[in-house]
C-alpha cells in the first residue's frame, strides 16, 4: 500500500493524452460565467458565447450605466431565443471600492522612489505628485509602512499599468507615499487597494442599492454577486434588502471573497450565502501570492461539502489579448476543476478581450479534460463521510442515485424537481455523468393572480457543476399522477437522445417523487 495518496488514482495512459478532445452537447460539466461588455454585447457575439458554453452572463456595474447594461441584456434575451440555450443573469455590485478619479484622462507617470500624495479632496486634478481619491477615511485607516496598490487593471497583476506604494507619513487627511515601481497610469479611473486594512464603508453602497432596485428588480436577476463581502452580516443585510423588493426574494446571493477580512470570516459567510466567488485578483494583492492556492483549495473544499456553488476568477488573463492561454493558465484552469470548482468566471477576457468566444471554448475544453480524471470515487467517499449519519431523507436519496449511476455506468441521471433542491444535492456528489434536472413548474396563486414557479430554479442551476436544467410544461398542483410523470420522462429522454447524451442500450438513473416518497430507478433503453 502506497502511503502517498495520489489525486489521480489510476495512471493516465499517455495514449489518452493524444486522443482528440470529444465534443458533446455541453462543452463541459464545469460552468462558465462570462462578463458582457464592449467586446461582447452584440446579439451575434452573445449567441456565439452561449453556443461556446457560457451559461451565466455577468453584468459588472463598476463601469457603464443602467441604460448601457439594459441594452446588453435585451441583446442577451434575443440571443437566448435564437440559440435556445438557457442563460442566467448575475448583477455584480461595486461595493466599497476605493477609486482615484483622473478627470482630464491624461496618462500619469510615476517614477520609482518618488513621492505621491493621496488626498480626499476630489476637486483637485490628478498629477504625478497628487492623486485625489473617493474616500475621506484613508488617513485614519493606514499607518506608515502600509502597502497601497493603484492601477487601472490592478487585479490582473500587470506591473506596467499599476503602481505599488508604501505609506511614509500621514498629514491631516492626506497620505504621503513612496513609489516602489515605475509605471504609467492611463484612463479615467484607477482602483486603489490597501493591503489588509479595514475600509469603513458599507458593503452595499447607496449606489449599489439604487442599481439593484432600478435595474436588478425589474429584470428579476438570478444572482447578486456581493463585492467585498467581509462578514456574514453583509450577506444578511443584502438578503433583507432583496426581500423588501419583492421580485428578488428568490435571487441567490454569491459572496465575493476579496480580502483577508472575508477570508477570516469565511465559514460564517459560507453558512449565510448561496454561493461563493473567490476573487483571486484582489486576494492576490491582499495575501502574499504564495498563499492564494492554499486558500483556494480549502475554500473550494468547504463549499463542496456544504453543497454550495464555488466560482473561481482570474484564470486566463493573457487571453484578453492573445488567442491562446499560457501553459500556466491552462494548468491553473484544470487545477481549479480538480480542486472542486463549480464554475469559472471570465472578466476582462470576455468584457474587453479581443477573443471572448475563443476564450470560452478554450476554458470549456480544458475543464472537460480535467473532468475526465477527476477522482470521483475519492470525492464521493469524502462527501458521504462528511455528511455523516443519520442522513436526511433527501441526502440519502441523492447519494444513492449517484452511487447507482456510477455502479451501472449510467450515461445520465434524470431528476424531477420543483424547488431544484434535489437536483442540487445530486450534483453535490459530483457524479461523472450529467444530471438533467427536469424542473416542473408549479402553478401557485396569491388570490390575485396565478404564477409559475420554476424559471428561477432552472436558471439558478446553470452555475452548478454537472447540472443541466430543462423546464417541463407547467402543471396544476392537483395533477401529479404517474401518467403525467411518464410523459415528462419521455420528453426528458427524447431531449437526451436528441442532444447525443443518451444512446440506445444506455442505462439511465431516474430520481423522482411518487406520492410522498422519493424513488430512484434504473432504466435500460432499448432501441
Torsion of CA 368, 495, 83, 314, to 10 degrees: -20
Q: Is 3 exposed, middle or buried (0-12, 13-18, 19+ CB in 10 A)?
A: exposed
pLDDT above 70 (res 14): no
Residue 420, by phi and psi: left (phi above 0), alpha (psi -120 to 50) or beta?
left
What was the pLDDT predicted at 95? 93
Sign of CA dihedral 119, 123, 124, 126: positive
Q: Phi-psi bin for 246: left (phi > 0), alpha (psi -120 to 50), beta? A: left
**Quick one: pLDDT at residue 479?**
53
Contact 108, 151 (CB under 8 A): no
Give me the half-sphere count of Cα atoms (radius 13 Å) on the Cβ side of residue 325.
Answer: 24
pLDDT single digits (tens) 377-414: 999 999 999 999 999 999 999 999 999 999 999 999 99
| Helical packing angle, 393-407 and 376-387, nearest 10° | 160
CATH superfamily ID and name for 376-525: Pyruvate kinase, C-terminal domain (3.40.1380.20)
User: Which class would CATH give 24-95+207-372?
Assistant: alpha beta
Q: Work out the mean pLDDT of the chain and round it to a whole number.
A: 90
- Strand, coil or helix: 186: coil
Closest CA to 527 of 502, 510, 509: 502
Over residues 241-268, the pLDDT tens digits come to: 999 997 899 999 999 999 999 999 999 9
- pLDDT value at 441 more than 80: no
CATH 2.40.33.10 assigned to domain 98-194? The reply is yes
Strands 252-257 and 115-119: unpaired
pLDDT digits (tens, 9 = 90+) for 114-166: 999 999 998 899 999 999 999 999 999 999 999 999 998 777 766 678 899 99
Domain boundaries in the chain?
24-95+207-372, 98-194, 376-525
**232: Cβ contacts below 8 Å, ≥ 6 apart:** 265, 268, 269, 271, 272
Residue 495 pLDDT > 70: yes
Residue indicated by cell numbers 492573445: 322
DSSP state of 11: P
How far from each other are the two terminal CA atoms of the chain, in whole angstroms?
A: 45
Which residue is it, cell 455523468? 433
pLDDT of residue 15: 58
Q: Is the pLDDT of residue 2 over 70?
A: no
The pLDDT, as a whole number, for residue 448 is 65
Mean pLDDT value across residues 452-457: 78
DSSP reduced 3-state for 435? strand
Q: Which cell goes with 22? A: 470529444
| Length of the chain measured in residues | 527
User: From CA 194, how far away is CA 261, in angstroms rounded?
Assistant: 12
Cα–Cα dist 217/66, whole Å = 12
pLDDT at residue 5 in the model = 45
98-194 matches 24-95+207-372 in CATH topology: no
Average pLDDT (163-182) is 96
Q: What is the band of 455 on the pLDDT scale with cuts at 50, 70, 90?
A: confident
Interatomic CA distance for residues 139 and 158, integer angstroms: 27
Residue 390, preceding bond cis, omega within 30 degrees? yes
pLDDT above 90 covers a percentage of the chain that reads 73
Average pLDDT on 362-383 reads: 95
Take residue 167 and report the three cell numbers written for it: 505609506
What pLDDT does 320 receive? 93
pTM, 2 dp: 0.92
Q: How many CB atoms lie within 10 A of CB 6?
A: 10
Amino acid at each position: 500500500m502506497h502511503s502517498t495518496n495520489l489525486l489521480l488514482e489510476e495512471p493516465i495512459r499517455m495514449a489518452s493524452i493524444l486522443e482528440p478532445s470529444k465534443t458533446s452537447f455541453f462543452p463541459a460539466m464545469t460552468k462558465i460565467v462570462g462578463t458582457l461588455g464592449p467586446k461582447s454585447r452584440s446579439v451575434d457575439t452573445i449567441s456565439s458565447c452561449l453556443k461556446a458554453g457560457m451559461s451565466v452572463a455577468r453584468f459588472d456595474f463598476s463601469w457603464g450605466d443602467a441604460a448601457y447594461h439594459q441594452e446588453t441584456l435585451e441583446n442577451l434575451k434575443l440571443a437566448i431565443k435564437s440559440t435556445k440555450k438557457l442563460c442566467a443573469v448575475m448583477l455584480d455590485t461595486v461595493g466599497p471600492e476605493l477609486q482615484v478619479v483622473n478627470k482630464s484622462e491624461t496618462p500619469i507617470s510615476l517614477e520609482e522612489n518618488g513621492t505621491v500624495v493621496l488626498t480626499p479632496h476630489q476637486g483637485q486634478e490628478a498629477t504625478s505628485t497628487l492623486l485625489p481619491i473617493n474616500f475621506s477615511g484613508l488617513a485614519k485607516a493606514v499607518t506608515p509602512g502600509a502597502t497601497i496598490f493603484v492601477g487601472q487593471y490592478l487585479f490582473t497583476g500587470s506591473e506596467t499599468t499599476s503602481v505599488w506604494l508604501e505609506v511614509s507619513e500621514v498629514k491631516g487627511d492626506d497620505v504621503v507615499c513612496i513609489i516602489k515601481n515605475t509605471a504609467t497610469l492611463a484612463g479615467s479611473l484607477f482602483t486603489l487597494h490597501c493591503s489588509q486594512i479595514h475600509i469603513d464603508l458599507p458593503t452595499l453602497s447607496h449606489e449599489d442599492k439604487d442599481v439593484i432596485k432600478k435595474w436588478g428588480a425589474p429584470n428579476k436577476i438570478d444572482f447578486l454577486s456581493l463585492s467585498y463581502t467581509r462578514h456574514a452580516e453583509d450577506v444578511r443585510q443584502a438578503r433583507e434588502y432583496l426581500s423588501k423588493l419583492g421580485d428578488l426574494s428568490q435571487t441567490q446571493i454569491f459572496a465575493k471573497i476579496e480580502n483577508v477580512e472575508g477570508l477570516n470570516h469565511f465559514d460564517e459567510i459560507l453558512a449565510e450565502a448561496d454561493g461563493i466567488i473567490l476573487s483571486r485578483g484582489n486576494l492576490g494583492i491582499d495575501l502574499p501570492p504564495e498563499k492564494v492556492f492554499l486558500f483556494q483549495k480549502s475554500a473550494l473544499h468547504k463549499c463542496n461539502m456544504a453543497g454550495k456553488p464555488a466560482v473561481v476568477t482570474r484564470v486566463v488573463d493573457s487571453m484578453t489579448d492573445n488567442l491562446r492561454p499560457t501553459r500556466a493558465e491552462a494548468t491553473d484552469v484544470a487545477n481549479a476543476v480538480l480542486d472542486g470548482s463549480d464554475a469559472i468566471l471570465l472578466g476582462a477576457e470576455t468584457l474587453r478581450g479581443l477573443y471572448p468566444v475563443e476564450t470560452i471554448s478554450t476554458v470549456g475544453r480544458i475543464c472537460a479534460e480535467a473532468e475526465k480524471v477527476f477522482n470521483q470515487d475519492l470525492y464521493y467517499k469524502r462527501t458521504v463521510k462528511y455528511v455523516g449519519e443519520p442522513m436526511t431523507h433527501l441526502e440519502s436519496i441523492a447519494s444513492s442515485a449517484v452511487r447507482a449511476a456510477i455502479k451501472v455506468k449510467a450515461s445520465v441521471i434524470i431528476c424531477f424537481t420543483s424547488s431544484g433542491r434535489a437536483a442540487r444535492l445530486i450534483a453535490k456528489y459530483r457524479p461523472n455523468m450529467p444530471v438533467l434536472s427536469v424542473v416542473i413548474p408549479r402553478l401557485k396563486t396569491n388570490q390575485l393572480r396565478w404564477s409559475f414557479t420554476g424559471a428561477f430554479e432552472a436558471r439558478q442551476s446553470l452555475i452548478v457543476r454537472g447540472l443541466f436544467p430543462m423546464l417541463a410544461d407547467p402543471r396544476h398542483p392537483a395533477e401529479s399522477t404517474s401518467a403525467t410523470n411518464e410523459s415528462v420522462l419521455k420528453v426528458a429522454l427524447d431531449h437526451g437522445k436528441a442532444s447525443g447524451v443518451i444512446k440506445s442500450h444506455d442505462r439511465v438513473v431516474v430520481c423522482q417523487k411518487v406520492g410522498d416518497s422519493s424513488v430512484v430507478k434504473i432504466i435500460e433503453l432499448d432501441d
